[in-house]
Structure 1
Amino acid sequence: MYALFRDRMEAGRMLAERLRGEAGKRTLVLALPRGGVPVAFEVARVLGAELDVLPVRKIGVPGQRELAMGAIASGGALHIERDTMHAAQVSQAQFDTVLAQERVELARRETLYRGNRPPAQVEDRTVLVVDDGLATGATVKAAVLALHALHPARIVAAAPVAPAGIETGFTDIVNAFVCVAQPALFFSVGQHYDDFSETTDDDVRELLRRAWSS
């Protein structure tokens, strides 16, 4: 199977082309760190839009951290995948333990990435929520739930790649779902990239610095 994207930056440029019809003068691109930041950086650059970061943490199944049983986002939003919890036989106590750990990490990243900079204004704007790919969609759902309380004009969930049919889970919570590719055979986000190396905290901070100083 051939990869669809060379790296996250190329994926971002391809995604930006799909998003041109969604962008306006006051469009805000919100990146989900860490992997979503390089993608969103290119989306914002191509569209001439403002970029900001919305820290989100996956709540992974114990022993299978990449399998999301939920997610949290800045602003207190919590999304739980009850079916995944049940299938993985995760107790409420186990879930609560992982949740507490991820809340600590979420607060750390909020301070690390943003520092004293206030969040971008969301109210009455079109907001593009960008990640590097969706598997279960839990992290993007958590981000969207956080945004609802801030009263954006429109919310668009966007990613370079996602499983076929996943958009049905977003029907009631976003105004649009935009994806470059939705292959029928989908095992992981990383399989669709030639280079899916880890995006570091330093990478995130540098890209945000470049975006905020331009």
Structure 2
Amino acid sequence: MPDSLRFKDRTEAGTQLGEALREREVDVDMVLAIPRGGLPLGRAVADVLDVPLDIVVASKIGAPGNPELAIGAVASDGSVWRNDEAFRGTGANEEYFEQEREREAENARQKANRYRGERSEPDLTGKTVVVVDDGVATGSTARACLQMLRETDAERIVLVVPVGPPDTVHKLQELADEVICLKTPSSFMGVGQFYERFDQVSDEEAMEYLAGEQ
């Protein structure tokens, strides 16, 4: 793959996203990163724009016997998105989906509480919020997060990601007021292929980015 299609790491990708927002003169009030992989980028975006960083959390709903295959995702407030095509192809039924939805919603709530600690959820009333992740493939977690934010009083919701397949990016535009994606390659196998360094981000590292300690 040409180097022009790859980011050095998540921080470089986040810096480029922040600069893209500044060039577009998006008047951002707050950055919300999707943990864990979105937090290094979110910290870079927030630093470029000099705005606060917080989180928006969703958890994937895996297929029966294949947890890596997302048939949907649920946010920490219970907002859910289901991939009906994947759902039909896995043998999952409504009872299974509802059980997993409840379980993963609780996981998302616990993660949000663990990351925030004593801090309360941010008040998004009248604000322009930017949602950041390290890339989208199916976009399942991003969809659940955007649906959750649609239920708030945020004035404008902008999704920014470094890379994603064109069809996913197009569909995400239905849920956000604006989507900025730096690269939309037609040959897309996975987010990690567009990074030179794409290590797993631990909870501890992610919380350090949120606290501004990285």
User: TM-score, normalized by length of structure 2?
Assistant: 0.91
Identify which of 112, 135, 138 aligns with 1:136: 138
State the partner residue of 2:26: 23
- 2-structure distance, mates of 1:75, 1:96: 15
CA distance in 2, matches of 1:68, 1:158: 21
| SS of 2:149 mapped into structure 1 | helix
- Secondary structure, counterpart of 1:9 in structure 2: helix
How many pairs were matched up?
211
- Structure 2 matches for 1:16-165, cutoff 5 A? 16-20=18-22, 21-24=24-27, 27-165=29-167
Contact 1:18–1:179, Cα closer than 8 Å, also in 2 = no
Alignment partners' CA distance in 2, 1:139 and 1:100: 15
Cα distance in 2 for partners of 1:67, 1:10 equals: 28
Offset of 1:93 from its aligned partner? 2.8
Q: Secondary structure of the residue that 1:144 maps to in structure 2?
A: helix
* AA of the residue aligned to 1:204: A
Deviations 1:87-112 (A, max 9, x none): 22322233233323312321221221
- The answer to whether residue 212 in structure 2 is matched with residue 210 in structure 1 is yes
Contact 2:76/2:105 (CA < 8 Å) preserved in 1? no
Unaligned 5+ segments in structure 1 are none
SS in 1 for 2:166: coil
What TM-score, normalized to structure 1? 0.91
Give the aligned CA root-mean-square deviation in angstroms. Answer: 1.8
Deviation, structure 1 residue 205: 1.1
Name the CA distance, whole Å, in 2 between partners of 1:135 and 1:172: 16
SS in 1 for 2:104: helix
Secondary structure at 1:45 match in 2: helix
Shift of 1:39: 0.8
* 1: CA distance, partners of 2:187 / 2:89: 21
Q: 2:64 touches 2:91 (CA, 8 Å); kept in 1?
A: no
Name the CA shift for 1:118/1:22 in 2 (closer, same or farther; >3 Å).
farther
Q: What displacement does 1:22 show?
A: 4.9
Secondary structure, aligned partner of 2:121: coil
Do 1:158 and 1:179's aligned partners in 2 also have CA atoms closer than 8 Å? yes
32-41 or 189-198: bigger deviation: 189-198
- SS of the residue 2:180 aligns to: strand
Q: What residue identity is the alignment partner of 1:123?
A: T
Q: Distance in 2 between matches of 1:67 and 1:187?
A: 14
